[in-house]
Amino acid sequence: MLHILPADAHRHDALIRSPNIPDPDGFYEELIESQRLLTDEAAQLMNCKLILLLANHVGDRAVLTQALKAAGGAVK
């Protein structure tokens, strides 16, 4: 499979907005499936943990702020 890096992947100060997940359908299925047996409350807690794990993986403060904005958060 040909893997093409998105144009902005090398810019550390910008949130990647172009497709960057290989196998998008497979990932989406895995995400939904991972919560299938959870109650709403347990899924919410899991979402929180997931956000924290991924935020730490990203690490870049400016990118995290852009992601909060892109998700619709009220960011100053």
Partner 1 sequence: MMSTYTYPKYPYRISSEQEAGRLVRHPVVVIGAGPVGLTAALDFAARGIPTVVLDDNDTVSVGSRAVCYAKRPLEIWDRLGCGERMVERGISWRIGKVFFEDDLRYQFDLLPEPDHKMPAMINLQQYYLEEFMVEECARQPLVDLRWKHKLLSLQQHEDFATLVVETPDGVFSLEAQWVVACDGANSDTRKMVGAEFTGQAFQDRFLIADVVMKAHFPTERWFWFDPPFHRNQSVLLHRQADDVWRIDFQLGWDADPVEEKKPENIIPRVKAMLGPDAQFELEWASVYQFACRRIDRFRHGRVIFAGDAAHQVSPFGARGANSGVQDVDNLGWKLKLVLDGLAPETLVDTYHDERALAADDNIANSTRSTDFITPKSAMSRRFRNAVLELAQEHPFARPLVNSGRLSTPTPYLASSLNTPDEDAFAGLMAPGTACADAPVRVDGKDGWFLGLLGGGFTVVTFGEAPLGEVRAGGIAAPVLRIGIDAADAKGRLAERYDGADGTTYLIRPDQHVAARWRSFDPDKIQGAITRAIAA
> Within 10 Å of residue 48's Cβ, how many Cβ atoms?
10
Least Å distance, CB 49 to partner 1, is 4
DSSP assignment of 51-62 equals HHHHHHHH--HH
Least Å distance, CB 70 to partner 1, is 18
Q: Which of 14, 38, 48, 54 binds partner 1 (CB under 8 A)?
A: 48
Name the phi and psi angles at 68, rounded to 5.
-60, -40
Least Å distance, CB 44 to partner 1, is 5
Point out which residues bind partner 1 (CB under 8 A).
Answer: 44-45, 48-49, 51-53, 56
